[in-house]
Chain A
């Protein structure tokens, strides 16, 4: 279980203050809010890419607030798929887990046979599927998704929302999605909260 307790962060202005959340195993939550309200920063603070001003983060009973991002066991899928151009699809997946079952991971996200493909040749949706496969290969205790469907067309976005939700539910992987799109939030998450 992930517990966010009184999380507060401000840059020039206050982004969020005393944010609280209890994410149970296998639960998927969506956080919505207008652009610039601090949704992305909240995810970056939870996974350790940004420091919190105050508050506590407990993951499976352990305080992870002061751990580096790479030690927290929290995965993040960025708004635009981050794929390393010097590696092909398989190379990118191996970064998630050197000994993981790449073929199966690709099958799971509907990208069977894409191992040798260069990442520049992937479409936006394919790129996001590869990012998801890689994030899942790393076996995160919680997966954070930073508007990964927002840059895709409506049809593709709808399909991916449904596919990703099924995969996460199948794996019982808790996840937090941030999005400004209420429809996506409702279709993807078990419940929605506003920031």
Chain B
């Protein structure tokens, strides 16, 4: 094992973490402000990826595709919020789970209807193709570094949005006291639609960015959604800060676990066995981490004070 390889894996882990953060930030914001658990968040990720791939194929521009992904996911989010989600805020979590599960079925089958059963492919834009050389003679794709940069920018942007703007102030007020914000004269229904569209746009962006790394297909959002759940459970549901740390922890743990565990086991058993056992163990690693964290802190690392 070389330093270069380890560095590459570490960056891969951070890149996965950044993707998870984009998903988890929306989920945790929506839960924090509206108290809603949204299983269909992965569908919005898929919507973003399909929008980007379709528009990029049509116009030949990845960048237009990226804009389309944000717009489509935000629009889909807003429509779903207006049509379905706002009827669920006062319902119990079971109803929310079921209704958003139904939305997944509708989104998945609807997308198959529109785009067929075959996956779409999305090319990395020319500007971001190629690799850079890192210390220790490692080379690393520019595109993945760009994703990390985008994630860092979004994290900063969310921090500023929530900490420094009027909208952010309303969001924070909504988190701590729904009645007060109503009394303040803020139109809470519009605020909820906005927050939901914002979360959806982040998920759509994540889907579009990942779309260029893997194929764009129905169901692509679901594994990411479940990892994002693990992230916000670890971070503390409702906490953006928790989502960031949780996402990086999960991303790095998962990637390094898949890389290191088989090698570690190879010191004790023969390589093919080590690959098999190590792979199986690595796929369970983040859940073990989650279990350990919950055993110590049942409400996650950064539980919101009011919950």
Do A and B truly interact?
A: no
Chain A interface residues (CB < 8 Å from chain B)? none
